[in-house]
Amino acid sequence: MQEQDFIPQSKPDPIESGKVSWQSPSNIALVKYWGKKENQIPANPSISFTLNNCRTTTSLNFQHKKAAENKGDLFEFEFYFEGKKKEDFKPKIYTFFERIEKYCPYLKGYQLTINSENTFPHSSGIASSASGMSALALCIMSLEKELFPTIPEDYFYKKASFLARLGSGSACRSVQGSLVVWGEHAKIEGSSNKYGVEFSDKVHEVFKNYQDTILLVDKGEKKVSSSVGHNLMHDHPFAEDRFKQAHKNLSALKGVFASGNLNDFIEIVESEALTLHAMMMSSNPYFILMKPNTLEIINKIWAFRETTGLPVCFTLDAGANVHVLYPEKNKTEIFHFIENELLGFCEKNQYISDSVGFGSKKL
């Protein structure tokens, strides 16, 4: 589907008012997206596990503006987070609305109220932009569906992912499916730079209920935002090789998903995590988001894997927290290890138990 396919071709009859709600999950990338072109087009393809427990629930109330109340060319909305009005979140949402205006021209005709809440603690250092932006994009698509009742399901989800991408790149991987690819890749049919698609090749049973224990090493605000980090890839000395490597790693993972070879899985996933942080450390200006305890945890995981042979590994996102990944069938021994040896490195021993989920849900 092309960009112009997402522009409505007619002006719908307005609806007086209504309310729609969606719940959308977070995701954790296995091959990382780091670096982008204009309009949130990724510099390389990525793939992620959709999570099950880290979710955002968002509802959108819409009220058609009467001609007399219409203040002209403005988006009018209120935003509430966990029941409290949040003025400081509004500029980000306003920018999002501006980016999607061309594709959702009906939005300015409505007075909107957005209510949002997360199932995970807001100050956990877990990025809520993927779940938050995808939930909002889905609510907007439900409004669109009421205005254009004949839009097909495939179009609905592709456009939801397309809109979510314009809010926050990785959010486009949170809409539908357990393993989601975003970014064109020669060996993945249907893959697109514009939206996420469910990985539809063979996936071995072991990955269907993979566990992710998220260790909250540092709950503080990040020193360098993802958007600054992505931009630093523009003049990065290793950028081109990194982008090629992501294509190669995604090809290799495709084989691993089919075979279930966990040694290869671990090697690719850990290398991707460390490469992401190596890119940050070799940017100009350079920066480090890992903390001493991030490294303590990584070393403990390596030592435990070496002695027990159990298939536990880690990945990182753009922060200090560690995602510990392992198969469901090894949950008892590995969780025992996490409790005894890793939780001490977390802020107040905090962690989130998660596993692979299935995507968003209309409420």
Question: What backbone phi and psi angles, to 5 degrees, belong to 355?
Answer: -155, 175
Q: Identify the residue among 23, 24, 32, 62 touching ligand PMV (CB under 6 A).
A: 32
| Candidate residues 25, 35, 132, 169; the one interacting with ligand PMV per rule CB under 6 A | 169
Interface stretch with ligand PMV, choices 26-34, 156-164, 294-302, 332-340 (CB under 6 A): 26-34
Contact stretch for ligand PMV (CB under 6 A) within 141-149, 167-175, 325-333, 336-344: 167-175
Decide: is 61 part of the binding site for ligand PMV (CB under 6 A): no
Answer for which of 23, 26, 44, 46 binds ligand PMV (CB under 6 A) is: 46
Contact at 8 Å (CB) between 334 and 204?
A: no
Residue 219 engages ligand PMV in binding (rule: CB under 6 A): no
Q: Compute the least distance from the CB of residue 270 to ligand PMV, in Å.
A: 15
Please state, in angstroms and rounded to a whole number, the distance separating the CA atoms of residues 323 and 320: 10
Interface residue with ligand PMV, options 170, 193, 213, 355 (CB under 6 A): 170
Tell me the C-alpha distance between 174 and 165, whole Å: 10
Reply yes or no: is the peptide bond before residue 292 cis, omega within 30 of 0.
Answer: no
Question: Would residue 204 be called left, alpha or beta, if left means φ above 0 and alpha means ψ between -120 and 50 degrees?
Answer: beta
Contact 24, 177 (CB under 8 A): no
Q: Is 327 in the site for ligand PMV (CB under 6 A)?
A: no
Among residues 318, 324, 334, 338, which is the contact residue for ligand PMV, using CB under 6 A?
Answer: 318
Among 118, 161, 226, 321, binds ligand PMV (CB under 6 A): 226
Of 117 and 317, the one with the shorter C-beta distance to ligand PMV is 317
Could you identify the residue written with the tokens 């939206």? 195
Among 111, 128, 129, 283, binds ligand PMV (CB under 6 A): 129
Residue 338 phi, psi dihedral angles, 5° rounding? -60, -45
Give me the least distance between CB of 18 and ligand PMV, in Å please. 30
**What is the C-alpha to C-alpha distance for residues 106 and 61, in angstroms, rounded to an integer?**
14
Q: Which stretch binds ligand PMV (CB under 6 A): 27-35, 108-116, 255-263, 343-351?
A: 27-35
Indicate the residue among 32 and 185 with the shorter CB distance to ligand PMV.
32
Q: Which two tokens stand for residue 109?
A: 């005709």
Cis peptide leading into 14, omega within 30 of 0? no
Out of 270, 317, 347, 354, name the contact with ligand PMV by CB under 6 A.
317
Residue at 58: amino acid letter: T
One-letter amino acid identity for 256?
V
# chain residues binding ligand PMV, by CB under 6 A = 15
**Rounded to the nearest 5 degrees, what angle is found at the Cα of 84, between the Cα atoms of 74 and 360?**
80
| DSSP secondary structure of 56-92 | EEEEEEEEEPPTTT--SS--EEEEEETTEE-GGGHHH
Q: Least distance from C-beta 30 to ligand PMV, angstroms?
A: 9
Q: Which residues bind ligand PMV (CB under 6 A)?
A: 29, 32-34, 46, 127, 129, 168-170, 226, 230, 276, 317-318
